[in-house]
Amino acid sequence: MEGGASGEGGASARDGAEPGAGQSREQGERSGLHSHSAPQLGVWFLDRFCPCGSDTAVLAQPPPPPPPSRAQTFSTPGRGSSPSRRLGNVRGAAGPPSPPGRRARPPAPGAGRLSGAAREELRRRLLGLIEGHRVVIFSKTYCPHSTRVKELFSSLGVDCNILELDQVDEGASVQEALSEITSQRTVPSVFVNRVHVGGCDHTFQAHQSGLLQQLLQQDPAYDYDLIVIGGGSGGLSCAQEAAVLGRKVMVLDFVVPSPRGTAWGLGGTCVNVGCIPKKLMHQAALLGQALTDSRKFGWEYSQQVRHSWATMTEAIQSHIGSLSWGHRLALREKAVTYVNSFGEFVEHHKVKATNEKGQEVLYTAAKFVIATGERPRYLGIPGDREYCITSDDLFSLPYCPGATLVVGASYVALECAGFLAGLGLEVTVMVRSVLLRGFDQEMAEKVGASMQQLGVRFLRKFVPVEVQQLERGLPGRLKVVAKSTEGTETIEGIYNTVLLAIGRDSCTKKLGLEKIGVNVSEKTGKIPVNDEEQTSVPYVYAVGDVLEGKPQLTPVAVQAGKLLARRLFGGRSEKCDYVNVPTVVFTPLEYGCCGYSEEKAGEVYQAENLNVYHTLFWPLEWTVAGRDNNTCYAKIICNKLDNDRVIGFHVLGPNAGEITQGFAAAMKCGLTKQLLDDTIGIHPTCGEVFTTLEITKASGLDITQKGC
């Protein structure tokens, strides 16, 4: 889901306010608080500045340290980063004692000078640090006045975000930029809730007068404690949990219609155009197979059985509508403000929310969570946006798609191809390279083989280059021209519908993230975060499919969002565990997995350190129905060096999702091969096969089945 809005009311709310948070102007002047501020910076200043944090002494700059082993530069790190050469969260940590006898050594002319653009970028990053933290101390490790200030905050039990300017390569440039912002040329330079307190002497004066304590107790006047941009599963989970914890929360959510004009309500991809409608259509296809099997079990019926696409989609859309409405009710019950508008950052802590009529409203918040998800990718060839559909359109398509070409080999592609074939449609899958990239490739090929048995046709090593409309209609007729990836061969095909499932792009491009300094991968468009889902801007977090290098699964986003809210507002410390996350591909014959693929396990642990146990199996339900006895497959990958701990679990068979869920919990608890052997299976079930695995791949023994 795409959404947006957030705010920085803190700066504007405080610009022009009276000094001292409740003091008169006269009191403010006596305490050293300067009433003039720089509105464009959103930062206040205390006037009289002291050299090197002291009004009486200028501390020398030490000789430069030895060059680092690799280039390191000043950046805006995430929470919990190491303070060495980078900003870190340090609870009042004091630097090492200053070397005796240091005296000032003037910098070389022009040292640290940056270009205009670089200076402006550095200035923006510094302001981002100041905006995003309660206490920021610009310091030098050898400066005794800096040490005194750090010890003061430590004694107060205050978390300080400290940047040691002598430990970053851009330290001189940082200090010069700070001088332009504050007119103070020395360290320490202390900011509390965006107020520039000054150096060492002024910090201690503020402490003695009580002003420092007042500043520490103040919170910027934001509209909300939290704004969540994106109303999908992860965003809603985070928003509701934060509201339960007593915070004022807003959700901004807006669905940009697909090129075919498809849009939907609250709930994100999973509810509207993903997991929920996909599983229901998968079930519709399984019921068709069950009808075929039922004759072997004695069910007799003479009338011709047909499937109604319109009846199915109407029922599914009705259910989705109820889920979306349920999400709105849940937000209302928890006093979460829901705004159906697109959110875009305009400055720190501030977003612009634009509704479908183009009306704009600004909102501010102390913290933000980006949960905008992804949308299907297009090929970029003639006719793709005009004539093709994606999963955004399929589940609410008002007509039966007819003969369908599915382009792609992702799990979305194979799942859609599978249930369309199960509904009796002619289905072709065009594959550029491999099936289910990122999954265990042995399992992926077995999935493909099982789909071929159901009549799905695969065109390997071809990609479309043009889509032409031959006839209008619902669905109409399309001609697809495709080219081989291995040569010059070109083929053509006629289809009623072309479904693109070649991947998804993160919805991050139009959120204004560059305006506040949130790092986004140029290659993927995804957002790198630390282990607490924190982005490069400390008050901005992200969950769900927009995360770089994390599983793109609804339950993962839900868990991450809930735990994030608890850490931010509930005093909890639990983090989302992205390891051993189970998943299932809902192809006609389901594929469930948890942990490593065989390929990845070999890379991580080395093949010689692995035991791979496997077998084919024949579900009892398939015996009377006369279905193939050597299609379903089970495999576990065990680490020999860790007591044969199960590090990879794979199953291809009926109800694979249900089977995998239980074994995933066991893997969290350290499941080993011996524990599986010691477990008594439930007979007759598919899951019991994992309690009787004996044959390893290395043995080369036959695994075909001839009975139950």
Q: Which residues are catalytic?
A: 683
What is the Cα–Cα distance from 192 to 83, expressed in whole angstroms? 19
Which residue in the block uniquely carries the two structure tokens 């957002």? 527
What is the Cα–Cα distance from 429 to 408, expressed in whole angstroms? 7
Question: Is-cis flag, bond preceding 188, omega within 30?
Answer: yes
H or E element that contains 664: helix 656-668
Residue 478 sits at the vertex; the CA angle it makes with 472 and 480, to the nearest 5 degrees, is 160
Residue 5 region by backbone torsions, left for phi larger than 0, else alpha for psi between -120 and 50, else beta: left
Q: Do residues 269 and 1 lie in contact, with contact meaning Cβ atoms separated by under 8 Å?
A: yes
Which residue in the block uniquely carries the two structure tokens 């693109």? 500
Instruction: Measure Cα distances from 594 to 441, 446, 589, 612, 656 in Å.
Output: 14, 17, 17, 14, 11
* Beta strands per DSSP E along 8-153: 33-38, 43-46, 88-90, 135-139
What is the Cα–Cα distance from 651 to 690, expressed in whole angstroms? 9
Report the DSSP beta bridge partners of residue 38.
Answer: 43
- Backbone φ, ψ for residue 683 (5° rounding): -115, 135
Report the DSSP beta bridge partners of residue 504.
Answer: 376
How many other C-beta atoms can be found within 10 angstroms of the C-beta atom of residue 100? 7
Give the pair of three-digit tokens for residue 561: 């969002």
What is the Cα–Cα distance from 305 to 483, expressed in whole angstroms? 39
Closest C-alpha among 458, 461, 483 to residue 405: 458
Instruction: Measure Cα distances from 633 to 117, 256, 436, 581 in Å.
Output: 59, 41, 17, 20
Q: Do residues 252 and 3 lie in contact, with contact meaning Cβ atoms separated by under 8 Å?
A: yes
Terminal Cα distance for the chain, rounded:
46
What is the Cα–Cα distance from 580 to 665, expressed in whole angstroms? 9
Which residue in the block uniquely carries the two structure tokens 């959700």? 251
Q: Do residues 167 and 96 lie in contact, with contact meaning Cβ atoms separated by under 8 Å?
A: no
How many other C-beta atoms can be found within 10 angstroms of the C-beta atom of residue 688? 15
Q: Do residues 386 and 246 lie in contact, with contact meaning Cβ atoms separated by under 8 Å?
A: no
Closest C-alpha among 64, 88, 66 to residue 75: 88
What is residue 625's three-state secondary structure?
helix
Instruction: Measure Cα distances from 219 to 131, 192, 213, 658 in Å.
Output: 12, 10, 12, 48
Which residue in the block uniquely carries the two structure tokens 């994106």? 230
Instruction: Measure Cα distances from 228 to 231, 241, 349 in Å.
Output: 8, 12, 12
Q: Which residue type does 141 have?
A: T
- For the chain, helix (H) and strand (E) counts, in that order, are 21, 28
